[in-house]
Amino acid sequence: MTLNEIIPDRWHIPLPADAVREQFAAGDDDRLDRLAALEEGRLAESMAFLCGYAPGIFDAILTATEPCTDDDYPSGEDALEPFCTTCGAHAGVFTALGMEWRHYRSTGKPAVFDPGHAPVIGWRTPENMTLV
């Protein structure tokens, strides 16, 4: 007796490589329809199963579907830029130097400088900027 004789085929859990092959063979239309029809509880159970079965894929899905925070902030001419409220200089985080806010000059290539105080961050629109 084989495992397939004991457990019906509909309960077969494919290996990740098999699942990818089946996806390309079946197409995505049916899956998207099935996903849209899932009730909230079943969707949560499906995601919990995916979390345990393929954690790397689950992490990639969550990262790829995070809401875009750019929609919370103005764009273009209304965009806000950080600056030091103490001296009016540009301020930014330069990850190569650490995760702290730093003053910088913006004449071509940004140049970090130390004015003798820590930046106190505020936000302004580009038309309110003064070059330091």
Which is it for the CA torsion 110, 112, 116, 119, positive or negative?
A: positive
Domain extent listing, the chain: 3-66, 73-128
Q: DSSP string covering 87-99, please? A: T--EEEE-GGG-S
Per-residue pLDDT of the chain (132 residues; tens, 9 = 90+): 444 444 455 555 555 656 666 665 655 567 778 888 899 999 999 999 999 999 999 988 888 888 776 666 656 666 788 999 999 999 999 988 989 999 999 877 889 999 999 999 999 887 655 544
The closest alpha carbon to 89, from 101, 79, 77, 75, belongs to 101
Check: pTM over 0.75? Answer yes or no. Answer: no
Query: Are 111 and 66 a contacting pair, CB within 8 Å?
Result: no
The SS3 of residue 31 is helix
Q: What is the largest CA-CA distance in the chain?
A: 80
Backbone dihedral angles phi then psi of residue 14, each to the nearest 5 degrees: -70, 150
